[in-house]
Amino acid sequence: MKNDKYKTIINSINSKNIVLASQSPRRAQLLKLLGLNFQICPSHVDEDSIQIKDPVSHVLELSRAKAKEVADSLEFGLVIGADTIVVLDGQILGKPADKKEAADMLSRLSGRTHQVYTGFTVLENPGGNDMFDYEVTNVHFRDLYDWEIEGYVNTQNPFDKAGGYGIQDQSAVFADRIDGCFYNVVGFPVTKFYTRLLKMLNY
């Protein structure tokens, strides 16, 4: 069978007791695309407790904190942590607290290019491998109508999402182009993660 190698590699990765330290359903869905089996065990890291203004340091540090918290409670396994942020003019936009803040964020993003950063960390127990990296994608929003912003903030969609939008929901029509990794905008840069994982595991 010519596809033995693909299956062998995926099976071998799956034997490692993979744990995803994230409650994002989008991230779980993306890892499943790869054929990976894993448990979900969200970390309890307080995202607001980390005050790092540099986007790359921010997502790397937070992804590591999330992975480490879960890995520390695990004797055997491979833990994946990730963190995604939205950056406009060098400033990190968090999750909006209310409708007004969500509408303000979307008004600022309207007609502009912002950056989506995701950092990821993989920690393997017992004390072995350790890997981290990040991806950044430019996202351009067309000029939004006020009534579109108002319609969107009246849904529940903006409130659990950095920057106040999710490209996989009704706000799909806000972005008219991106430049960079496709799935990073959804919340997990699956291509870079996969190639780095293959390298970490010496495939």
Residues contacting 42, CB < 8 A, separation 6+: 21, 22, 23
Closest CA to 158 of 118, 98, 88: 98
Closest CA to 152 of 174, 177, 176: 174
In this complex, which beta carbon is closest to a copy of itself, that of residue 39 or of residue 195?
Answer: 195
- Per-residue x/- mask for a copy of itself, residues 28 to 57, rule CB under 8 A? --x--xxx----------------------
Q: Which of 175, 196, 200, 201 binds a copy of itself (CB under 8 A)?
A: 175
| Tokens at 45, concatenated | 């890291």
| Tokens at 94, concatenated | 């968090």
Residues contacting 123, CB < 8 A, separation 6+: 67, 68, 71, 78, 79, 81, 129, 130
Minimal distance, residue 139 CB to a copy of itself, in Å: 8
Q: Which of 2, 44, 46, 76 binds a copy of itself (CB under 8 A)?
A: 2
The DSSP secondary-structure symbol of 156 reads: S
Residue 177 carries which side chain, given as an amino acid letter?
A: R
Q: Does residue number 107 form part of the binding site for a copy of itself (CB under 8 A)?
A: no
In this complex, which beta carbon is closest to a copy of itself, that of residue 72 or of residue 150?
Answer: 150
Q: Which of 40, 50, 178, 200 binds a copy of itself (CB under 8 A)?
A: 178
Would you please indicate which residues are annotated as catalytic (active-site) residues? 83
Binding stretches for a copy of itself (CB under 8 A): 2-3, 5-7, 9, 30, 33-35, 142, 147-148, 150-152, 154, 167-170, 172-183, 185, 190-192, 194-195
